[in-house]
């Protein structure tokens, strides 16, 4: 297994979207109370005294929707300014991004992933669970603002849902031809959406690559990042295409990440809660730095033994939270 040096940090479990693959319609969510969230100071303490000494140098800020976190620009600046921080990035739905893009960049954020599951506003609104005024245009403006500011790489995440947006794969792939955008196709996962997943399953990355290859051709490529994507490129394109194949191709042996929830639970795997620990409560109870480090080391040891071989059945692990609550 690779050295685990990458921490995905959920800043908040709330989101202003309700995407069907993340928060299925009808699901009842128990949101974390404000006092249960890790404070900025607690998060920075964990980074400086626990994670960084254990070799963590790359941090991705997620949610829910991280831009809903109060004072998020200041927090980005504090994490970016830690001497040991080698990489700080963010995943966002982009809805609030346009007016914040420059300030986030100035604070030290350099890489950003934006969810864009459709180029059709109606399909987009269907996926995000929006029944009012369309939100597509504001997200598109957020993407343009991030591009203009200079985020590089700028990645667009597409969860491919059979019968919903899979017919748009070629149109989305074409975004990489003229702009240095990096589109990442993500296989639909059964997390908190088992009924929807059971009806439709997923489209494999191999199928998507074949469709793109038949249209333009496809060559292997690379792009800066810490994720598990297999990266390709349309010949002559400025951007790249990434394929995250967690359902069809197990990549546990390449995983270099841990996940910290907004309320301080550290888990070794997106799809498995085995061995997770409550760092927030331990910190608030005055547990020593050495003890906290020891607890994290125990989770790291467990992580080496985890993989999700049962992924095809849709019964992977023992997760009890939806994707939005975990921090996908």
Whole-number Å distance between alpha carbons of 265 and 88: 20
Residue at 150 is within a domain: yes
Side-chain half-sphere of 66: how many Cα atoms within 13 Å? 30
Q: Is the pLDDT of residue 229 over 60?
A: yes
User: Structural domain tally of the chain?
Assistant: 1
Tens of pLDDT, residue by residue over 194-228, are 555 455 578 899 999 999 999 999 999 988 877 77
Determine the structural domain holding residue 220 and report its residue range: 6-326
Picking from 14, 111, 9, the residue whose alpha carbon sits closest to that of residue 62 is: 9
Over the stretch 266-306, which tens digit does the pLDDT of each residue have? Answer: 999 877 777 899 999 999 999 999 999 999 999 999 887 76
Task: Tell me whether the omega of the peptide bond preceding residue 64 falls within 30 degrees of 0, making it cis.
Answer: yes
241, 218 Cβ separation under 8 angstroms:
yes
Q: Report the CATH number at residue 190.
A: 3.20.20.70
CA distance 78 to 212: 41
The two structure tokens encoding residue 220: 């292997």
Cβ-in-10-Å burial (0-12, 13-18, 19+) of 103 comes to middle
How far is the C-alpha of 309 from the C-alpha of 250, rounded, in Å?
8
To the question of pTM greater than 0.85 for the whole model, the response is yes
φ/ψ of 264, rounded to 5, equals: 90, 10
- Segment 173-191 shows an average pLDDT of 90
In a domain, 1, yes or no: no
């Amino acid at each position: 297994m690779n050295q685990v040096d990458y921490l995905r940090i959920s800043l908040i479990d709330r989101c202003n979207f309700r995407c069907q693959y993340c928060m299925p319609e009808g699901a009842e969510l128990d949101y974390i109370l404000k006092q249960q969230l890790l404070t900025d100071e607690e998060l920075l303490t964990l980074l400086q005294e626990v994670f960084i000494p254990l070799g963590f140098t790359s941090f991705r800020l997620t949610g829910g929707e991280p831009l809903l976190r109060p004072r998020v620009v200041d927090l980005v600046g504090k994490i970016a300014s830690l001497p040991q921080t080698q990489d700080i990035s963010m995943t966002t739905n982009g809805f609030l991004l346009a007016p914040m893009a420059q300030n986030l960049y100035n604070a030290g954020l350099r890489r950003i992933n934006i969810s864009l599951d459709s180029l059709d506003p109606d399909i987009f609104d269907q996926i995000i669970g929006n029944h009012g005024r369309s939100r597509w245009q504001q997200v598109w403006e957020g993407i343009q603002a991030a591009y203009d500011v200079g985020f590089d790489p700028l990645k667009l995440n597409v969860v491919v849902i059979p019968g919903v947006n899979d017919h748009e794969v070629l149109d989305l792939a074409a975004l990489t031809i003229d702009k240095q955008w990096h589109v990442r196709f993500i296989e639909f996962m059964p997390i908190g959406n088992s009924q929807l997943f059971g009806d439709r399953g997923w489209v494999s990355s191999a199928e998507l690559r074949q469709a793109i290859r038949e249209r333009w051709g496809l060559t292997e490529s690379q792009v800066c990042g810490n994720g598990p994507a297999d990266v390709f490129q349309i010949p002559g394109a400025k951007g790249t295409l990434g394929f995250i194949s967690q359902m069809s191709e197990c990549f546990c042996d390449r995983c270099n990440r841990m996940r910290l929830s907004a309320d301080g639970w550290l888990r070794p795997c997106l799809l498995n809660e085995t061995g997770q620990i409550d760092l927030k409560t331990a910190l608030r109870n005055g547990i020593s730095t050495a003890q906290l480090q020891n607890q994290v080391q125990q989770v790291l040891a467990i992580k080496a033994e985890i993989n999700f071989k049962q992924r095809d059945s849709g019964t992977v692990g023992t997760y009890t939270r939806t994707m939005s609550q975990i921090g996908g």
